[in-house]
Amino acid sequence: MKVKKYQADNMQEAMLKVKSDLGSDAIILHSRKFKKGGFFGFFAKKKVEVVATVEPEPATDSKDSKELKGELDQMKGMMNNLMGEIQKSKEESLAVTGNPILQKVVEALLNLGIDYSTAQDLARKIVKKTQGQVDDAEKLQQILKAEFENVINDIEPIKLEDDKTKVVAMVGPTGVGKTTTLAKLAANFSLLEGKKVGLVTADTYRIAAVDQLKTYSEIIDLPLEVAFTPQELTTAIDKYQGYDLVLVDTAGRSQNNQMHISELKSFIKKSEIDEVYLVLSATTKTSDLKKIIKVYTELEINKLILTKLDETDSLGIVFEAALEANKPLSYVTVGQDVPEDIKLPESKELIDDILEGLDL
């Protein structure tokens, strides 16, 4: 706000000054009479002082009022929609918490290894689809099945191409079964399908890991290359020209080790890897699974492999993994035996297996 002081010989003159300077919208804040000059109070001149201001112009940001009104109406509409949605979701949540059957559904989903927020979401969807009439267990199962089908829809194998070597890398935390899975795949493609398969291990962090794959490669009778650097990985892959499939094993360290992830990233980026499969164990805690997926999806994952399905009845983690990673599922493994304990399930069959453990 602009505040200015004016002095004049009389009020009329002061007002003229204010008007010519600030315009006729000026507001007088204060005025006083005083004496100026003189000698011991004699011969002093009477003066007037006026303090005035003008209200600042409203900031229109060069938009006219019609435009502003339009924007305001739009915002009002958005707010109303938002409030409506909040209210609806509040009502749906209340319908979940206030309904013992839905509480049971949430509990059963949690027992299946499904995350609490996912379980709540699923229960809310049930409310929506049944308009709150949720007393039919079969209907509940049907709705859940449909929701699972939305997430687990296409289950894809490693697709080989006729005139190209397909290079596939397995990544994931230590101990989930990467090497064993790779050996199972290698044996199936080479022994059962008659494909030319080469192996590379970039899992040189643990001596035991190299030995483990070496043993498998000797049993299946497949060549194995060891790569300590991204450059060596490129050279190793180049050696397999004319092969149908090259399977690359990588080191799995803690998902908390950022250095490891950047190292892996550079291995994958600098070599000619076509597809990256994230290997996850079905025995992982849901909260850990979310962390693992968050870290590993930095690597541009193509598909997911779920291992150790034989070790748990809570197969909900398979759904949670597909939902969280938003990637297609591929193979699942169901035991330690190479090569037989691996399969490419039908999505319907897998969903039935998962929901079989649901105790409603």
166 contacts ligand GDP (rule: CB under 6 A): no
- Site for ligand GDP, residues 181 to 220, rule: CB under 6 A: none
Q: Per-residue x/- mask for ligand GDP, residues 243 to 262, rule CB under 6 A?
A: ---------x----------
Alpha carbons 174 and 176: distance in angstroms, whole number: 6
Alpha carbons 17 and 13: distance in angstroms, whole number: 6
Q: Which two tokens stand for residue 235?
A: 């050279």
Q: Nearest distance from residue 173's CB to ligand GDP, in Å? A: 7
For 39, half-sphere exposure in the C-beta direction (CA atoms, 13 angstrom radius) is: 0
Residue from 155, 169, 176, 222 that binds ligand GDP (CB under 6 A)? 176
Distances, alpha carbon 251 to alpha carbons 126, 173, 206, 239, in Å? 42, 8, 8, 21
Residue from 174, 204, 235, 312 that binds ligand GDP (CB under 6 A)? 174
Residue from 180, 255, 286, 314 that binds ligand GDP (CB under 6 A)? 180
Nearer Cβ to ligand GDP (102/305):
305
Nearer Cβ to ligand GDP (190/201):
201
Give kind and range of the element (H or E) at residue 42.
Answer: none
179 contacts ligand GDP (rule: CB under 6 A): yes
Q: Segment contacting ligand GDP (CB under 6 A): 108-116, 149-157, 314-322, 329-337?
A: 329-337
Q: Nearest distance from residue 206's CB to ligand GDP, in Å? A: 8
308 contacts ligand GDP (rule: CB under 6 A): yes
What is the DSSP code string of 59-95?
--TT--HHHHHHHHHHHHHHHHHHHHHHHHHHHHHHH
Which of 213, 196, 195 lies closest to 204 in space, CA to CA?
A: 213
Which of 164, 142, 209, 160 lies closest to 182 in space, CA to CA?
A: 209
Nearest-CB residue for ligand GDP? 177
Q: Give me the residues that bind ligand GDP (CB under 6 A), please.
A: 174-180, 252, 307-308, 310-311, 333-336, 341
